Amino acid sequence: MVNSNVLNEDPIHISGISAFQDNYIWLLANNKQAVVVDPGQAEPVARVLAERELELSAILITHHHYDHTGGVKDLLKQWPNAKIYGPSAEPLPASSAMGVSDGDTVLVPELGLEFSVLSVPGHTLGHIAFYEPTGIANQPLLFCGDTLFSGGCGRLFEGTPEQMHQSLTRLAALPDATLVYCTHEYTQSNLAFCHSVEPNNAELKKHLQKIAKLRQQGVPSLPSSIGLEKAINVFLRPHVAGVKARLQAHTGLELDEDIKVFAALRRWKDVF
Ligand SMILES: [Zn+2]
């Protein structure tokens, strides 16, 4: 008898480990092995690994900022065999780290995971995302660092509005069911901004209320999904007539292209 559904016997769970003020370090693990994404701090990760008696197989890094990489060196001291993958176009936090770029595949055989690397510049120039199309229970997984947030997008520290708009358009084209694991708990303030841009978006209003309740109970607002973000996140909606009209009224400018609406949204959010 062939048992092809190994994952069901040893299912993968994803949990968010809190770090710094509002970062999540995502941990994917079965009963034995774990992968972490963007470990800005080592200590909270090491604690969870010890509690759950897990071995660290791999570390995925989306971009070079310290709050995404600061824990790598110390985790490596404890787990010298952990493989590290990060953007080939950016400085990596350890000499053993492997640089990957758009179109590459990152295999984590210990967990049966196969990530596609997507180049998503904007927040930083070499920023990458990790996409697992098979995912868990037919829901693909996306680890997108500081590119797409629930209700928002990353600040443009290195890239241009054009680059970020293109990166987000690419992520928005992933299947609606894709679970979106961002690195920061910015959802409530992001949704407040979305609401001020689209006060009549009924789905956004409903989601705002749901997230307010969750956050009151200290529950993470993540993961989100691509389908949800397309409905509520104004940064994925510059093509929507109401968003464009609101931005034209706000800026007093004729915004005749989606990219101009997007750039105006990003500038407004920076001072919101
Ligand atoms: Zn960052």
- 175-233 pLDDT per residue, tens: 999 999 999 999 999 999 999 999 999 999 999 999 999 999 999 999 999 999 999 99
Whole-number pLDDT of residue 9? 59
> Is 239 labelled a binding residue?
no
Residue 1 lies in a domain: no
Low-confidence stretches of the chain (pLDDT beneath 50): 1-8
Q: Residue 76: in which H helix or E strand, if any? A: helix 72-78
Q: Ligand 1: distance of its center to the CA of 250 in Å?
A: 28
Task: Please compute, for residue 188, the number of CA atoms within 13 A of its CA located in the half-sphere on the CB side.
Answer: 13
Q: Ligand 1: distance of its center to the CA of 146 in Å?
A: 5
> Is 127 labelled a binding residue?
no
Residue 69 lies in a domain: yes
> Is 165 labelled a binding residue?
no
Expressed in percent and rounded to 5, the helix, strand and coil fractions of the chain are 35, 25, 40
Q: Ligand 1: distance of its center to the CA of 1 in Å?
A: 48
State the CATH number of the domain containing residue 45: 3.60.15.10
Whole-number pLDDT of residue 138? 85
Q: Residue 88: in which H helix or E strand, if any? A: none
Phi, psi of 88 (to 5 degrees): -65, -20
Non-local (6+) Cβ contacts of 144 within 8 A are: 62, 120, 129, 171, 180, 181, 182
Residue 184 lies in a domain: yes
Q: Ligand 1: distance of its center to the CA of 6 in Å?
A: 35
Give the range of the structural domain holding residue 221, as residue numbers without chain letter: 6-270
Residue 84 lies in a domain: yes
Q: Ligand 1: distance of its center to the CA of 63 in Å?
A: 7
Residue 28 lies in a domain: yes
Count structural domains, the chain: 1
Residue 182 lies in a domain: yes
> Is 64 labelled a binding residue?
no
Question: How many angstroms separate the CA atoms of 49 and 57, rounded?
Answer: 11
Tally Cβ neighbours within 10 Å of residue 112: 14
> Is 184 labelled a binding residue?
yes
Residue 43 lies in a domain: yes
Q: Residue 46: in which H helix or E strand, if any? A: helix 43-51
Q: At what angle do helices 258-270 and 241-251 cross, to 10 degrees?
A: 60
Q: Ligand 1: distance of its center to the CA of 17 in Å?
A: 17
- What DSSP assignment string belongs to 167-228? HHHHHHTS-TT-EEE-SB--HHHHHHHHHHH-TT-HHHHHHHHHHHHHHHTT-----EEHHH
> Is 63 labelled a binding residue?
yes
Whole-number pLDDT of residue 10? 75
Residue 99 lies in a domain: yes
